[in-house]
Amino acid sequence: MTASRTWSAWSCTVRLTVDDPAVLGAACGDLKALMDRVDKAASRFRPDSELSIVNNRAGALVPVSRLLVDLVDVSLVAGSMSGGAVDPTVGSALIAAGYDEDIEAVRRRFPQPTGDAKPVPGWQSVQLNRKLALLGVPKDSALDLGATAKAWTADRAALVLSKRYGCAVLVEIGGDLRAAGKPAEPWIITVAERAGDSGVLVSLAHGGLTTSTRTVRRWQTPTGYGHHVIDPRTGRPADGPWRTASVWAPTAVRANTFSTALVATGEAAVGRLTLAGHPARLVADDGEATELSGWPAASRAA
């Protein structure tokens, strides 16, 4: 028997499912506590977060917590793995595009004015001293960990909760899912572009399944719609061939790295995905779907 609880946080839907109903309440409390710690460390929208302090002191090395060290480290690995398609230094570009506070507040400013595109310094420009826990970004730049921190939290929560409570766990934070433990039957997941939309069913027994899209976190501007997926090559919201990408990988972070890269840079990311061999489903602007590398059917576990 499984039990599930759903709530809203980080401007998205959070869902925790376990196959031992007796532990659901405690496990939900643990997940909320972890998300609170991550928010205090890495939110770009909290002036008191560690990340905001680092961004405000761009050009200097700033002491940070081990948690933020881990989160930034993951983002730099994603930058390297994706060939720069998933880059944590897009913060200034996001602000210039209009995404300068929580998405609900941005949408209320109608239409949202935008500035000129900002160059992206590149993930290699981030200074991270892991031993001393010091972090620095170049002057006139800002970090944004949105592409990896959510997935890292899903990974971390699923692994910790499964071990702590001795049960199978499925954590979903927005479009980032991570399964851990050994469920009696694979979880059946609806993969859709937006919450509540119809979608395709896949089965997930382990690992991460993520969906990145430019159709959800978007806002109206004087020239159309802006969105939160930045192409680091241009510093502007991506306009490649795919509006949405879903990817399975052994971890949510790895899956999200590829799904974000596909939306951000389009065809340029396909070669790396093919080499990695991760199943993917791509949705073009006209709604046509393309499935790659053995995208799982509902009757087969990923």
CATH code of the domain covering residue 84:
3.10.520.10
Q: Do residues 178 and 204 make contact, with C-beta atoms less than 8 angstroms apart?
A: no
pLDDT over 50 at 228, yes or no: yes
Q: Residue 260 falls within a domain, yes or no? A: yes
Q: Kindly report, residue by residue over 243-276, the tens digit of the pLDDT.
A: 999 999 999 999 999 999 999 999 999 999 999 9
Are residues 13 and 6 in contact, defined by beta-carbon separation less than 8 angstroms? yes
- Does 302 fall in a domain? no
Residue 297 lies in a domain: no
Question: Which pTM value belongs to this model?
Answer: 0.93
Q: Could you give the CA distance from residue 240 to residue 176 in angstroms, rounded to a whole number?
A: 21
pLDDT interval class at 297 (50, 70, 90): low
- pLDDT band, residue 217 (cuts 50/70/90): confident
Q: Which two tokens stand for residue 30?
A: 């643990």
Token digits of residue 107: 């949408």
Structure tokens at 41: 């460390």
Give pLDDT, residue 296. Answer: 63
Tokens of 88: 């944590």
Which residues of 110-259 form beta strands (DSSP E)? 127-129, 134-136, 169-173, 176-180, 187-191, 200-204, 207-213, 218-221, 224-227, 230-231, 236-237, 242-249
Contacts with 199 (C-beta within 8 Å, 6 or more apart), sequence order: 190, 191, 192, 193
Q: Is residue 53 assigned to a domain?
A: yes
Q: Residue 63 to residues 53, 66, 67, 92, 195: CA-CA distances in angstroms?
A: 10, 10, 12, 22, 38
What average pLDDT score do residues 146-174 get? 97
92 touches 137 (CB < 8 A) = no
pLDDT given for residue 109 in this prediction = 77
Domain count, the chain: 1
Is residue 139 included in any domain, yes or no? yes
Q: How far apart are CA 202 and CA 283, in angstroms?
A: 16
Q: For residue 144, is it within any domain?
A: yes
Residues found in the chain: 302
With respect to residue 129, please indicate whether it lies within any of the assigned structural domains.
Answer: yes
Determine the structural domain holding residue 284 and report its residue range. Answer: 3-292
| pLDDT at position 277 over 90 | yes
Residue that is written with structure tokens 């200074």 in the block: 127
Rounded to 10 deg, the angle between the 149-165 and 66-81 helix axes is 120
The answer as to whether 301 is a domain residue is no
In DSSP terms, 220 is beta-bridged to: 225
- Cα separation, 192 vs 178, in Å, equals 16
